[in-house]
Amino acid sequence: MSRTPLPIQTVTTVLIIIAIVVSAGSLSYVMGISGKIEKLTDSVAELESTIGELTSTEKEVVSAVGEVADALGVYGESLVALEERIGEVEEAGKLPEAPDYILIGGCLPMSGPAAEAGIALKEGIEIALDEINEKGGVYIKAYGKKVPLKYLFEDCQSKPDVGVSVVEKLITKDKVHMIIGGCAFHSSVTMAVMELAPKYNIPMTSIEPVSYEISKKILNDPVRYKYFFKTSWPAIAYAKGAFDLFKMLADTGKYDPTVKKIAYVVEDTDYGRSNADINQEYMEEIGWEVVAYEVVPLGHTDYYPQLSKIKALEPSWVFTCFTALSSGVAFMKQFREVEIKAHPYAIYYPVNPEFIEQAGEAAEYLVWHPLMWDPNKMPRVKILHDKVMATYGVLSRSDHGSGYDAIYIAADVVERAGNLEPDDLQEALETLNLRGVTGTTTWDPDLPHTGLYHADPEVGSPCPAAQIVNGVSFIVMPEAMAQLYAPSVYELPPWIEAP
């Protein structure tokens, strides 16, 4: 006997039930229906075993039940398939597993002649890491959560070959997501390490190196150095700043020597030479004569041969550039001892808070760049200074600020990128504009991937000129920042005859 087809109303009712289940998207409800179908199928099987004992009417009823069982079986299979599909969709919708850390690495001179700077950079980095990680880390959209930062420190020992070796290890073995500080301090190390950015297509920044040669490499081949960014301004900020200072003193009649001679004594690094070379070009353009250009090893402390030569040449300015504190202290003491009747000028070494104490009277009347760090006059600096004192028990310096800002740059870039993919991190670096402790890090429109030098710290990074008088450094230009120290004014060194 053939089975009577299910009434269309019954099928329609079943379909409506299934549609409701699907639209509800309830996996647990689907599973409940499936279980009921299985129980119903078992009951139908028991009934069919007794069909032979039933009347024709009863058999017709059983036949109808069979049709229902068949229909429910088909739709039961559909529900199971739907159940599996829902599981697949839910699995696909899950966020990828976040890494334990956002890994950042870099090399610093933590030993050797520039260790003071390297250690201060490291301490600034550590303070920033603690602040960010105390709040859970950096939010990354791709993972839907915050991920803590971890910085892997390597010592470059102030040597380019060592820098390349340790940074390559960070990239290939430690698998860092970014290099922040390749190198953190030395221009000469950076010139070598920056070649790893295009080799491995990894986002990389320097921190403090200023050599114009770094910027020129990027300018001449921006495609190759797509992933490399020099967050500090170029040496022109120092060299041109020195020229502007000399010119300001001359134009205002504060120091306008009739003898237009200048001597240079700088360390044998890209940093030292580039500052001297650029300043020399500016000075020669206005008629000054370069009577000496002395280059000494990094960490040098015996300047008597150079100073004896310079004294005989009678320059009006003596331009110096050293990164080692010991070099600067030794030079100024010997400069005063030899009694050269010239005005001393310095780049970098007076930023060390110990310089004035160690140089003593020999530091008086020195003019220098850059005074970016004064806890007594700069509120943002004061906050970090207090943290450095509380954490490490040492006087803070601008290197602390540079390391601190570098980590906040990394955090800003990762959060805006929304993931840790190299190309997305690179794009976020392209649009960097972040106010830090001493200024704003963004890019020079004329020098790709090079920090913008600007007198206004809300626009770029300033490079203020200062003078030491009565054991205290104060800003003499730019005028806007010099107002912080009013009524302090420039004083002509007493060993130079007034005009």
- Angle at which helix 8-24 crosses helix 27-48, to 10 degrees, equals 150
Residue at 244: amino acid letter: D
pTM for this one?
0.79
Return the H-helix or E-strand segment holding 191.
helix 187-193
> Nearest CA to 106 among 403, 400, 418?
403
- Encoding tokens for residue 406? 């570098």
Omega before residue 448 within 30° of 0, cis:
no
Contact status, residue 205 vs residue 179, Cβ threshold 8 Å: yes
Omega before residue 478 within 30° of 0, cis:
yes
Going along the chain from its start, the domains and CATH numbers come out as 8-92 (no CATH), 102-233+377-441 (3.40.50.2300), 236-374+462-485 (3.40.50.2300)
Tell me which DSSP letter residue 443 carries: B
Tens place of pLDDT for every residue, the chain, 499 residues? 444 444 545 444 444 444 433 344 443 443 454 455 455 456 545 645 554 554 555 556 446 545 654 654 555 566 566 566 555 544 546 789 999 999 999 999 999 989 999 999 999 999 999 999 999 999 999 999 999 999 999 999 999 999 999 999 999 999 999 999 999 999 999 999 999 999 999 999 999 999 999 999 999 999 999 999 999 998 889 999 999 999 999 999 999 999 999 999 999 999 999 999 999 999 999 999 999 999 999 999 999 999 999 999 999 999 999 999 999 999 999 999 999 999 999 999 999 999 999 999 999 999 999 999 999 999 999 999 999 999 999 999 999 999 999 999 999 999 999 999 999 999 999 999 999 998 999 999 999 999 999 989 999 999 999 999 999 999 999 988 999 998 888 999 999 986 6
